[in-house]
Amino acid sequence: MILVVEDEPGIVDFIERGLERAGFQVCSQIDGTAGLAHALEPTVELVILDLMLPGLSGDEILSRLSVQRPDLPVIVLTARDGVQERVKGLDAGAVDYLVKPFSLDELIARVRAQLRSARRGEMKIVGGGITVDLPSRHVKVGRQDVQLSSTEFELLTYLMRNQGTVLSRTQILRAVWGYQHDPGTNVLDVYVGYVRRKLTASGAEGRIVTVRSLGYRFDGDRP
């Protein structure tokens, strides 16, 4: 989940639309206090942060996140373009600094780069009795190994990283396959079926839920 903390509705809409087209799940806050509270939620993987906000300032949010979620990547997006401002933001904990006006393609590329970097240090994803060991690419249900193909592994990993969130077919296709499929393709349904059968055979039935007319959701918390 990408969190955008920005108080200009036009910019929020512009960023949200661009990130969603690129396959990301996005949420937003227009107030610094609400933005900080949302950034502390474990589902948030990266924050795009304006510095001039109502409520808490972006500088204060950076300061608090550096203590409470030091591994959370924060990309500053601001009109402050002075060298000292950039240095201050990076020293405060931002991983990147982009000045308005900005290129949406560049912002998306920087988001991808920061998520890749953050995930290199990620070791495991756990949910619903399933453990995914990322460095070895091993999947277990309890103590039982589950053998997945490379595409099946990427699909399960993407769903589990966003567990509890409904992901659209377009988001999943772009995130896992990396390009735009024909909207009528059934490749996603086929691979969801593959993964479901393998998880069910290992005792993890019903974790990947079909949400009619919307997409799929991984349920990790239900009994």
Per-residue pLDDT tens digits for 80-134: 767 777 777 777 788 888 888 888 888 998 898 888 777 666 678 888 899 998 8
Separation between Cα atoms, residue 77 and residue 99, nearest integer Å: 6
Report the candidate in 150, 133, 145 with the shortest Cα–Cα distance to residue 191.
150
Share of the chain above pLDDT 70, in %: 94
| CATH node for 124-218 | 1.10.10.10
To the question of domain 2-120 being in CATH 3.40.50.300, the answer is no
pLDDT of residue 83: 73
Separation between Cα atoms, residue 187 and residue 181, nearest integer Å: 9
For residues 38-62, give the mean pLDDT.
89
pLDDT of residue 177: 75
Specify the DSSP class assigned to residue 82: -
For residues 23-31, give the mean pLDDT.
89
Token pair, residue 115, equals 């998520």
Q: Does 124-218 match 2-120 at the fold level?
A: no
Helix (H) or strand (E) holding 150: helix 150-161
Separation between Cα atoms, residue 43 and residue 22, nearest integer Å: 19
pLDDT tens by residue, 148-185: 998 899 899 989 988 888 888 887 887 787 655 566 67
Per-domain residue ranges for the chain?
2-120, 124-218
pLDDT of residue 155: 92
pLDDT reading at 19 higher than 80? yes
